[in-house]
Amino acid sequence: MRNISVNRLNGLPVKDLKIEYVERKGIGHPDSLIDGIVDETSHALCREYLDRCDNTILHHNVDKGLIIGGASNASFGRGKITRKIEVIVTGRATDRYKGVKIDVNDIAREVATKYLKAHTRFLDTKNEVKFVSKIARGSADLTDVFIRNAAHDDVPLANDTSFGLGFAPFSDTERLVLETERYLNSRRYKEAMPAVGEDIKVMGLRDGKEITLTIAVAFVSKLVKNLDHYISYKEKIRKDVARFASRLIEKDVAVYINAADPEDSDAVYLTKSGLSCEAGDDGSVGRGNRVNGLITPFRPMSLEAAAGKNPVNHIGKIYNLLATEVASDIVKQYPGIVECNIAIMSQIGQRIDQPLNLNINLATAKPADFENAKAKARYIADGWLENLGEFTMDISLGKHKTF
């Protein structure tokens, strides 16, 4: 029997609170870029290990990384990066297996280059970025847990005593913040508004039934002629987002674009590359979005840096993703649940499908429905744990986002 507990949610669901904050750091934010680089490095290592090491994913955790901002001169119609952006990837990974050498640092540098090329349009990765990888061999104790996993042909053993958190469903504010960034960074919007850079941050405030979106957009300098042109672009984005929001939710939404811009100066948010990291804004793994793509201070939220951790037995990655998926499945299958919060705790050296505790807190639309929902939720959670091997393999193949 798995230790799964189900309880009533204490307090109001988030959607019923008077105040709510939600943040989303877009794909071009330096924290998101480095999260993406290290997580894709883990995926690449998994593929390399599976191909060359007897179909086995070996020990690795490449969840430490940094983007050090460069320097640039950007003005209307032109821009130049004057000091390179530096991307540093570090962590631990197995580099030898039965005489086979795995060039983990070469893999990391290649991944970082490809990732930036794929997720930015105006960054010259050859001349404007310096890539450094300092991945070393793992510690003996954690590598030993991996060796025991290989002998333990059933289910991997947890690498740490830790926990993961998840919730569902998203509130209107959360959906709006997430989808607004995706809208502005979509291929379709970029084709219509190419001057809109990838570095976009959306901050949402809900006060009662009114939502305020404060959005930071890094404009591409060579595509903006002058201040009037810049102002007209800002106004178009504001109107586009307001229209998009009206189709998504039924609440009053006020939209502000680059609120720090002075009213009578050219000192506005211009960049050569569409990225703030070209001019000093740094990025670090784990400082950005949680695994559901948002930063939600009014929700249960883990501080784990999930990106780059191994998908075989690292609880900081697996249980945060798992808690999010289980919560989503529960509310999908039982619509009478208005909020579901899940916490899962491991114990180092124990099977990851047998957590020390999996706790579910539920709020139902009708209090009398709780007992039915309780049994349903426990059954769904147990099913996910029963099929955890398939889930972790999907993580290793990059089928689950960590930011």
- Pairing relationship of beta strands 196-207 and 210-220 according to DSSP bridges: antiparallel
Looking at residue 153, its pLDDT comes to: 57
Q: Nearest Cα to 294, choosing from 89, 29, 69?
A: 29
CA–CA distance, 220 with 274 (Å, rounded to integer): 5
Structure tokens at 31: 């924290």
- pLDDT tens digits in sequence order for the chain, 403 residues long: 899 999 999 999 999 999 999 999 999 999 999 999 999 999 999 999 999 999 999 999 999 999 999 999 999 999 999 999 999 999 999 999 999 999 999 999 999 999 999 999 999 999 999 999 999 987 655 555 555 555 445 789 999 999 999 999 999 999 999 999 999 999 999 999 999 999 999 999 999 999 999 999 999 999 999 999 999 999 999 999 999 999 999 999 999 999 999 877 788 999 999 999 999 899 999 999 999 999 999 999 999 999 999 999 999 999 999 999 999 999 999 989 999 999 999 999 999 999 999 999 999 999 999 999 999 999 999 999 999 999 999 999 999 999 9
Per the CB < 8 A criterion, the answer to whether 59 and 142 are in contact is: yes
Q: Cβ contacts of residue 200 below 8 Å, gap of 6+?
A: 26, 27, 28, 29, 181, 184, 185, 215, 216, 217, 218
Q: Phi then psi for 375, rounded to 5 degrees?
A: -65, -40
CA distances (Å), origin 268, targets 56, 75, 79, 200, 220: 51, 9, 13, 15, 11
Reply yes or no: is the peptide bond before residue 169 cis, omega within 30 of 0. Answer: yes
Per the CB < 8 A criterion, the answer to whether 156 and 391 are in contact is: no
Looking at residue 301, its pLDDT comes to: 93
Structure tokens at 315: 């609880």
Query: Which domains, from first to last, does the chain contain?
Result: 4-12+161-170+289-396 (3.30.300.280), 30-138 (3.30.300.10), 172-284 (3.30.300.340)
CA–CA distance, 314 with 164 (Å, rounded to integer): 11
Full-model pTM:
0.94
- To the nearest 10°, report the CA torsion of 340, 159, 47, 40: 60
CA–CA distance, 261 with 79 (Å, rounded to integer): 19
Per residue, the 3-state secondary structure of 10-24, as one string, reads: CCCCHHHCCEEEEEE
Per DSSP, the three-state class of 260 is coil
Q: Phi then psi for 10, rounded to 5 degrees?
A: -85, 130
Q: Cβ contacts of residue 180 below 8 Å, gap of 6+?
A: 24, 202, 213, 215, 241, 244, 245
Looking at residue 139, its pLDDT comes to: 61
CA–CA distance, 133 with 118 (Å, rounded to integer): 19
Looking at residue 234, its pLDDT comes to: 97
Q: Nearest Cα to 309, choosing from 116, 26, 45, 4?
A: 45
